[in-house]
Amino acid sequence: MSETEFDIIGRYFRRQPVKRKDVLTGIGDDAAVLRLPVDRELLLCIDTLVADVHFPAGTPAAAIGHKALAVNLSDLAAMGAEAAWATLALTLPEPDPVWLEAFSGGFFALAGRHGVQLVGGDTTRGPLTVTVQAHGFAPQGQALQRTGARPGDRIYVTGTLGDAGLALHLRDAAAAELRIRLDYPEPRLDAGSLLRGLASAVIDISDGLLADLGHLLEDKGLGASLQVDGLPRSRAFIAALQGLDAAPAELYYELPLSGGDDYELCFTVPERCCAEVERRLGGLSCGCTAIGTIEAQPGIRCCMQDGGSYQPAATGYLHFQGGDHD
Protein backbone atom coordinates (compact mmCIF):
# COMPACT_ATOMS: atom_id res chain seq x y z
CA MET A 1 0.00 0.00 0.00
CA SER A 2 1.34 3.38 -0.92
CA GLU A 3 1.62 6.23 1.53
CA THR A 4 -0.67 9.22 1.45
CA GLU A 5 0.44 12.83 1.41
CA PHE A 6 -0.73 13.13 4.99
CA ASP A 7 1.31 10.21 6.28
CA ILE A 8 4.46 11.68 4.78
CA ILE A 9 3.95 15.09 6.29
CA GLY A 10 3.20 13.57 9.65
CA ARG A 11 6.09 11.19 9.76
CA TYR A 12 8.98 13.26 8.54
CA PHE A 13 8.15 16.89 9.12
CA ARG A 14 6.65 17.06 12.58
CA ARG A 15 9.72 15.92 14.55
CA GLN A 16 11.40 19.27 14.32
CA PRO A 17 13.99 20.68 16.71
CA VAL A 18 12.60 24.22 17.09
CA LYS A 19 9.33 25.21 18.82
CA ARG A 20 8.83 28.96 18.71
CA LYS A 21 6.38 30.72 21.02
CA ASP A 22 5.11 32.92 18.20
CA VAL A 23 3.76 29.90 16.27
CA LEU A 24 0.10 29.73 17.35
CA THR A 25 -0.88 27.12 14.72
CA GLY A 26 1.82 25.26 12.83
CA ILE A 27 1.62 22.41 10.34
CA GLY A 28 -1.76 20.72 10.03
CA ASP A 29 -4.43 23.37 9.47
CA ASP A 30 -5.25 25.16 6.21
CA ALA A 31 -2.76 27.89 7.13
CA ALA A 32 -0.22 28.65 9.84
CA VAL A 33 -1.20 31.30 12.40
CA LEU A 34 1.71 33.41 13.64
CA ARG A 35 2.03 36.07 16.31
CA LEU A 36 3.80 39.17 15.02
CA PRO A 37 6.51 41.11 16.81
CA VAL A 38 6.16 44.81 17.57
CA ASP A 39 8.73 47.22 16.07
CA ARG A 40 9.97 44.72 13.52
CA GLU A 41 9.55 44.44 9.79
CA LEU A 42 8.86 41.07 8.16
CA LEU A 43 11.26 39.83 5.50
CA LEU A 44 10.46 36.94 3.25
CA CYS A 45 12.03 35.19 0.31
CA ILE A 46 11.28 32.09 -1.76
CA ASP A 47 13.67 29.94 -3.77
CA THR A 48 13.27 26.75 -5.75
CA LEU A 49 15.83 24.00 -6.32
CA VAL A 50 15.20 21.75 -9.32
CA ALA A 51 16.99 18.40 -9.72
CA ASP A 52 19.64 18.46 -12.48
CA VAL A 53 19.39 22.26 -12.71
CA HIS A 54 20.34 23.48 -9.22
CA PHE A 55 22.02 20.35 -7.93
CA PRO A 56 23.53 17.28 -9.65
CA ALA A 57 21.30 14.20 -9.72
CA GLY A 58 23.55 12.32 -7.28
CA THR A 59 23.40 14.95 -4.53
CA PRO A 60 22.68 13.35 -1.13
CA ALA A 61 19.12 13.94 0.10
CA ALA A 62 20.45 15.49 3.33
CA ALA A 63 22.37 18.03 1.26
CA ILE A 64 19.26 18.90 -0.77
CA GLY A 65 17.29 19.44 2.43
CA HIS A 66 20.07 21.59 3.85
CA LYS A 67 20.63 23.59 0.68
CA ALA A 68 16.93 24.30 0.01
CA LEU A 69 16.73 26.05 3.37
CA ALA A 70 20.26 27.49 3.24
CA VAL A 71 19.77 29.43 0.00
CA ASN A 72 16.76 31.16 1.55
CA LEU A 73 18.45 31.87 4.88
CA SER A 74 21.29 33.30 2.81
CA ASP A 75 18.83 35.76 1.26
CA LEU A 76 17.68 36.75 4.76
CA ALA A 77 21.34 37.16 5.77
CA ALA A 78 21.85 39.54 2.85
CA MET A 79 19.02 41.68 4.26
CA GLY A 80 20.48 41.71 7.78
CA ALA A 81 17.51 39.75 9.11
CA GLU A 82 17.18 37.22 11.91
CA ALA A 83 15.47 34.03 10.72
CA ALA A 84 12.19 32.82 12.23
CA TRP A 85 9.91 30.54 10.16
CA ALA A 86 10.07 28.46 7.01
CA THR A 87 7.59 26.72 4.73
CA LEU A 88 8.38 23.85 2.38
CA ALA A 89 6.71 22.84 -0.89
CA LEU A 90 8.15 19.46 -1.83
CA THR A 91 7.42 17.76 -5.14
CA LEU A 92 8.61 14.15 -5.27
CA PRO A 93 8.41 11.38 -7.88
CA GLU A 94 7.58 8.94 -5.07
CA PRO A 95 7.52 8.95 -1.26
CA ASP A 96 10.83 7.17 -0.61
CA PRO A 97 11.19 6.81 3.19
CA VAL A 98 15.01 6.66 3.13
CA TRP A 99 15.21 9.79 1.01
CA LEU A 100 12.65 11.64 3.15
CA GLU A 101 14.44 10.71 6.36
CA ALA A 102 17.75 12.09 5.05
CA PHE A 103 16.15 15.14 3.41
CA SER A 104 14.22 16.18 6.52
CA GLY A 105 17.31 15.47 8.65
CA GLY A 106 19.41 17.87 6.56
CA PHE A 107 16.66 20.48 6.60
CA PHE A 108 16.05 20.33 10.35
CA ALA A 109 19.75 20.25 11.31
CA LEU A 110 20.22 23.65 9.67
CA ALA A 111 16.85 24.95 10.93
CA GLY A 112 17.82 23.95 14.46
CA ARG A 113 21.11 25.86 14.33
CA HIS A 114 19.30 29.06 13.36
CA GLY A 115 16.15 28.75 15.49
CA VAL A 116 13.89 28.32 12.46
CA GLN A 117 10.56 26.48 12.80
CA LEU A 118 8.84 24.83 9.84
CA VAL A 119 5.27 26.19 9.99
CA GLY A 120 3.66 24.91 6.81
CA GLY A 121 4.12 22.96 3.64
CA ASP A 122 2.72 21.01 0.76
CA THR A 123 3.83 17.63 -0.55
CA THR A 124 2.95 16.78 -4.13
CA ARG A 125 3.85 14.14 -6.67
CA GLY A 126 5.93 15.12 -9.68
CA PRO A 127 9.52 15.73 -10.81
CA LEU A 128 11.81 16.46 -7.83
CA THR A 129 11.47 20.17 -7.03
CA VAL A 130 12.02 21.80 -3.65
CA THR A 131 10.66 25.26 -2.85
CA VAL A 132 11.35 26.87 0.51
CA GLN A 133 10.14 30.21 1.77
CA ALA A 134 12.00 31.74 4.70
CA HIS A 135 10.66 34.46 6.98
CA GLY A 136 12.66 36.72 9.24
CA PHE A 137 12.65 40.06 11.02
CA ALA A 138 14.71 43.22 11.07
CA PRO A 139 14.33 46.32 13.24
CA GLN A 140 12.17 48.93 11.50
CA GLY A 141 14.03 50.73 8.72
CA GLN A 142 17.22 48.68 9.22
CA ALA A 143 16.89 45.95 6.61
CA LEU A 144 19.93 45.96 4.33
CA GLN A 145 19.29 46.45 0.64
CA ARG A 146 21.00 46.16 -2.72
CA THR A 147 20.77 49.76 -3.78
CA GLY A 148 22.87 51.91 -1.43
CA ALA A 149 26.41 51.57 -2.85
CA ARG A 150 28.25 54.84 -3.65
CA PRO A 151 31.54 55.62 -5.40
CA GLY A 152 34.42 55.26 -2.95
CA ASP A 153 32.71 52.55 -0.88
CA ARG A 154 34.96 49.59 -0.22
CA ILE A 155 33.77 46.15 -1.47
CA TYR A 156 34.03 43.14 0.83
CA VAL A 157 33.16 39.46 0.80
CA THR A 158 32.76 37.06 3.71
CA GLY A 159 34.60 33.72 3.77
CA THR A 160 36.25 32.32 0.64
CA LEU A 161 35.20 32.21 -3.01
CA GLY A 162 35.34 29.50 -5.67
CA ASP A 163 35.12 26.44 -3.42
CA ALA A 164 31.66 25.35 -4.57
CA GLY A 165 32.53 26.05 -8.20
CA LEU A 166 35.69 23.93 -7.92
CA ALA A 167 33.68 21.09 -6.34
CA LEU A 168 31.29 21.19 -9.31
CA HIS A 169 34.25 21.28 -11.71
CA LEU A 170 36.07 18.35 -10.12
CA ARG A 171 32.91 16.32 -9.32
CA ASP A 172 33.84 12.99 -7.71
CA ALA A 173 37.50 14.03 -7.53
CA ALA A 174 36.72 17.01 -5.26
CA ALA A 175 38.11 16.95 -1.72
CA ALA A 176 35.51 16.59 1.06
CA GLU A 177 36.10 20.17 2.21
CA LEU A 178 35.16 21.52 -1.23
CA ARG A 179 32.22 19.14 -1.56
CA ILE A 180 30.85 20.33 1.78
CA ARG A 181 31.03 23.91 0.57
CA LEU A 182 28.90 22.95 -2.45
CA ASP A 183 26.43 20.68 -0.69
CA TYR A 184 26.13 22.35 2.72
CA PRO A 185 26.56 26.11 2.24
CA GLU A 186 26.45 28.09 5.49
CA PRO A 187 24.10 31.09 5.40
CA ARG A 188 25.96 34.09 6.85
CA LEU A 189 23.18 35.25 9.16
CA ASP A 190 25.56 36.39 11.90
CA ALA A 191 27.55 38.49 9.45
CA GLY A 192 24.40 39.99 7.92
CA SER A 193 22.98 41.17 11.22
CA LEU A 194 26.35 42.67 12.24
CA LEU A 195 26.31 44.73 9.02
CA ARG A 196 23.10 46.59 9.92
CA GLY A 197 23.76 50.31 10.08
CA LEU A 198 27.20 49.92 8.49
CA ALA A 199 26.99 48.36 5.01
CA SER A 200 25.60 50.52 2.20
CA ALA A 201 24.54 47.52 0.05
CA VAL A 202 24.57 43.74 0.49
CA ILE A 203 23.85 40.71 -1.70
CA ASP A 204 24.56 37.02 -1.30
CA ILE A 205 26.73 35.34 -3.92
CA SER A 206 24.62 32.63 -5.51
CA ASP A 207 25.35 33.24 -9.19
CA GLY A 208 29.02 34.23 -8.89
CA LEU A 209 30.81 37.36 -7.67
CA LEU A 210 30.76 39.25 -10.98
CA ALA A 211 27.06 38.60 -11.59
CA ASP A 212 25.94 39.40 -8.04
CA LEU A 213 28.22 42.43 -7.59
CA GLY A 214 26.69 43.57 -10.89
CA HIS A 215 23.27 43.70 -9.17
CA LEU A 216 24.67 46.13 -6.57
CA LEU A 217 25.90 48.40 -9.38
CA GLU A 218 23.13 48.28 -11.98
CA ASP A 219 20.54 50.37 -10.21
CA LYS A 220 22.63 53.57 -10.32
CA GLY A 221 24.87 52.65 -13.26
CA LEU A 222 27.96 52.41 -11.05
CA GLY A 223 31.16 50.45 -11.63
CA ALA A 224 33.82 48.75 -9.54
CA SER A 225 37.44 47.74 -9.54
CA LEU A 226 38.33 44.32 -8.14
CA GLN A 227 41.70 43.00 -6.98
CA VAL A 228 41.58 39.50 -8.48
CA ASP A 229 44.83 38.28 -6.89
CA GLY A 230 43.45 39.32 -3.52
CA LEU A 231 40.14 37.44 -3.66
CA PRO A 232 39.91 35.11 -0.66
CA ARG A 233 40.61 31.49 -1.58
CA SER A 234 40.50 28.57 0.85
CA ARG A 235 43.45 26.27 1.57
CA ALA A 236 41.42 23.40 0.13
CA PHE A 237 40.88 25.42 -3.07
CA ILE A 238 44.59 26.20 -3.50
CA ALA A 239 45.67 22.65 -2.63
CA ALA A 240 43.22 21.16 -5.13
CA LEU A 241 44.46 23.43 -7.94
CA GLN A 242 48.10 22.56 -7.17
CA GLY A 243 47.20 18.91 -7.65
CA LEU A 244 45.79 19.47 -11.15
CA ASP A 245 47.73 19.06 -14.39
CA ALA A 246 45.84 21.36 -16.73
CA ALA A 247 44.82 25.02 -16.71
CA PRO A 248 44.92 25.69 -12.96
CA ALA A 249 45.74 29.38 -13.59
CA GLU A 250 42.47 29.96 -15.38
CA LEU A 251 40.48 28.19 -12.65
CA TYR A 252 42.38 30.14 -9.99
CA TYR A 253 40.92 33.38 -11.30
CA GLU A 254 37.67 32.31 -12.92
CA LEU A 255 36.10 30.25 -10.15
CA PRO A 256 36.28 32.95 -7.43
CA LEU A 257 34.99 35.51 -9.96
CA SER A 258 32.24 33.51 -11.65
CA GLY A 259 31.64 30.21 -9.87
CA GLY A 260 28.27 30.28 -8.14
CA ASP A 261 26.89 28.52 -5.06
CA ASP A 262 29.34 29.90 -2.48
CA TYR A 263 26.58 31.81 -0.62
CA GLU A 264 29.03 34.26 0.88
CA LEU A 265 27.90 37.87 1.33
CA CYS A 266 29.24 40.61 -0.97
CA PHE A 267 28.78 44.07 0.53
CA THR A 268 29.88 47.66 0.23
CA VAL A 269 30.93 49.88 3.13
CA PRO A 270 31.57 53.65 3.28
CA GLU A 271 35.21 54.36 4.18
CA ARG A 272 34.32 55.71 7.64
CA CYS A 273 32.65 52.41 8.62
CA CYS A 274 35.31 49.98 7.33
CA ALA A 275 37.28 49.67 10.56
CA GLU A 276 34.11 48.86 12.53
CA VAL A 277 32.99 46.30 9.93
CA GLU A 278 36.40 44.60 9.99
CA ARG A 279 36.37 44.58 13.78
CA ARG A 280 32.86 43.06 13.98
CA LEU A 281 33.24 40.45 11.24
CA GLY A 282 36.77 39.64 12.37
CA GLY A 283 35.17 37.95 15.33
CA LEU A 284 33.31 35.45 13.11
CA SER A 285 34.84 32.26 11.77
CA CYS A 286 34.10 33.34 8.18
CA GLY A 287 35.74 36.77 8.56
CA CYS A 288 35.71 39.24 5.68
CA THR A 289 38.13 40.47 3.00
CA ALA A 290 38.27 43.83 1.20
CA ILE A 291 38.34 43.03 -2.52
CA GLY A 292 37.85 46.34 -4.33
CA THR A 293 36.20 49.72 -4.60
CA ILE A 294 32.96 51.14 -6.00
CA GLU A 295 33.61 53.64 -8.83
CA ALA A 296 31.44 56.07 -10.76
CA GLN A 297 32.51 54.68 -14.13
CA PRO A 298 30.20 51.78 -15.16
CA GLY A 299 31.62 48.27 -15.59
CA ILE A 300 33.67 45.94 -13.43
CA ARG A 301 37.45 46.25 -13.89
CA CYS A 302 39.54 43.34 -12.71
CA CYS A 303 43.07 44.34 -11.67
CA MET A 304 46.21 42.42 -10.77
CA GLN A 305 48.64 43.36 -8.00
CA ASP A 306 51.38 43.92 -10.62
CA GLY A 307 49.26 46.71 -12.15
CA GLY A 308 47.99 44.68 -15.10
CA SER A 309 44.35 43.99 -15.85
CA TYR A 310 42.53 40.65 -16.01
CA GLN A 311 39.78 39.93 -18.52
CA PRO A 312 37.24 37.48 -17.07
CA ALA A 313 35.95 34.76 -19.37
CA ALA A 314 32.38 34.74 -18.06
CA THR A 315 29.97 36.79 -15.98
CA GLY A 316 28.13 34.20 -13.97
CA TYR A 317 25.19 31.89 -13.85
CA LEU A 318 22.11 32.70 -15.87
CA HIS A 319 19.02 30.47 -15.89
CA PHE A 320 17.76 29.67 -19.39
CA GLN A 321 21.26 30.28 -20.80
CA GLY A 322 22.52 26.77 -20.49
CA GLY A 323 21.40 26.15 -16.95
CA ASP A 324 24.91 25.54 -15.75
CA HIS A 325 27.87 27.48 -14.50
CA ASP A 326 29.32 28.89 -17.69
Largest CA distance in the chain: 69
Q: Which of 136, 232, 256, 292 binds a copy of itself (CB under 8 A)?
A: 136
3-state secondary structure of 71: helix
Site string for a copy of itself, 139-178 (x = CB under 8 A): ----x-xxx-------------------------------
Using CA atoms, how far apart are residues 134 and 30, in angstroms rounded to an integer?
19
Tell me how far CA of residue 135 lies from CA of 64, 76, 118, 197, 272, in angstroms: 19, 8, 10, 21, 32
Q: Map residues 109-128 to x or -, x wherever contact with a copy of itself holds by CB under 8 A.
A: ----------xxxxxxxxx-
- 248 binds a copy of itself, rule: CB under 8 A: no
Contacts of 17 (CB under 8 A, 6+ apart): 108, 109, 111, 112
Least separation in angstroms between CB 63 and a copy of itself: 18
Which of 57, 94, 272, 283 is close enough to bind a copy of itself by CB under 8 A? 94
Cα 76 from Cα 197, distance rounded (Å): 16
Quick one: 4 or 309, whose CB is closer to a copy of itself? 4
Q: 72 or 234: whose CB is closer to a copy of itself?
A: 72
User: To the nearest whole angstrom, how small is the minimum distance from the Cβ of residue 234 to a copy of itself?
Assistant: 24
**What are the φ and ψ backbone dihedral angles of 25, each rounded to 5 degrees?**
-135, 125
The yes or no reply on residue 225 touching a copy of itself (CB under 8 A) is no
Residue whose CB is less far from a copy of itself, 148 or 230: 148
Q: What is 230-299 written as a DSSP string?
A: TS---HHHHHHHHT-SS-HHHHHHHHHHH------EEEEE-GGGHHHHHHHHHTSSS-EEEEEEEESSSE
Q: Assign residue 54 a region: left if phi > 0, alpha if psi is -120 to 50, beta otherwise?
A: alpha
Q: How far is the CB of 262 from a copy of itself (least distance, A)?
A: 15
Total number of residues that touch a copy of itself (CB under 8 A): 72
Residue with Cβ nearer a copy of itself (32 or 168): 32
How far apart, in whole angstroms, are the C-alpha atoms of residue 43 and residue 187? 16
Of 166 and 216, which has the nearer Cβ to a copy of itself? Answer: 216
Please state, in angstroms and rounded to a whole number, the distance separating the CA atoms of residues 301 and 293.
10
Q: Is 226 in the site for a copy of itself (CB under 8 A)?
A: no
Counting contacts by CB under 8 A, is residue 95 touching a copy of itself?
yes
CB 227 within 8 A of CB 284: no
**Interface segment toward a copy of itself; rule CB under 8 A; list 56-64, 84-92, 99-107, 237-245:** 84-92
139 SS3 class: strand
Find, among 195, 231, 194, 190, the residue nearest to 210 by Cα: 231
Stretch 264-303: interaction string toward a copy of itself, x if CB under 8 A: ----------------------------------------
Restricted to residues 9-68, the positions that interact with a copy of itself (CB under 8 A) are 24-25, 28-38, 40-54
Q: Which of 79, 110, 228, 255 touches a copy of itself (CB under 8 A)?
A: 79
